[in-house]
Amino acid sequence: MAAPPKFVESELVSLEAFALRAGLPIRDHAMLRSALTHRSFVNEHEGAAEDNERLEFLGDAALDFLSAALLFRRFPDTDEGKLTRLRSALVCTEQLAAFATEIGLGEELLLGKGEEASGGRQRPALLCGAFEAVLGAIFLDSGLPAVEEFLLPRLDRAITAIVEEESALDPRSQLQIWAQAERGATPRYRTVGSTGPDHDREFTVQVLIGESVVAAGTGKSKQDAARQAALNALRDLGQESAAWE
């Protein structure tokens, strides 16, 4: 394996510049470097510093706590089920990868040659993990209040966007979000009948979650019938309103 690059003055300057640019409240730049080190880099450099997976574990825990606390305060009349689904959207891989992209995290990562060549700097799962690792580094360096100060404005903006998007979703999308969060399954639709002449046919479609039929709907097309089935399912499940406020 190639020898690991030394932690030279130019790298220190680069890390300081990145921390300043990204608004990271972290003083220990060696720890920041660890947060930016992917395991593919460690695998290619014998004796390299620890990769960022332990910091990712810590940052994930801080993120879960802070996002839950924020949602609890912001939505005082919302039940546990809706809070859980909103938090799932708030801390999903794609959302955290977007936060990472916002601060230019991908360009600062230490990657192995193979990971670099395969587009690792833009890979959502990799960016998500690195962002969580940075949160872990901030926590160890400056404590939970510093993580909160850095993270909450981003979470607040994301919540607003998620709620607005949720309110505009069609019934099938709403049901899918609910079913995946609550049942760990994606709804399936099956056409079970049709009536009337060819020029005026009405279809009946059932929606299933797992192996259970949860509702049925009718419509002039299979698509309309599936939409009605999803809407009926949401009503039966007490989820017909997508409003969070």
Q: Residues with Cβ < 8 Å from 230, sequence gap 6 or more?
A: 170, 171, 172, 174, 175, 187, 207, 215, 217
- How many Cα atoms sit within 13 Å of 110 on the Cβ side? 26
Residue 145 burial by Cβ neighbours in a 10 Å radius (0-12, 13-18, 19+): exposed
In 3D space, the residue among 102, 105, 92, 153 whose CA is nearest the CA of residue 133 turns out to be 105
Q: Residues with Cβ < 8 Å from 237, sequence gap 6 or more?
A: 178, 214
User: Residues with catalytic annotation?
Assistant: 60, 132
- Taking the CA atoms of residue 131, residue 135, residue 151 and residue 145 in that order, the dihedral angle to the nearest 10 degrees is 180
In 3D space, the residue among 129, 157, 166, 186 whose CA is nearest the CA of residue 241 turns out to be 166
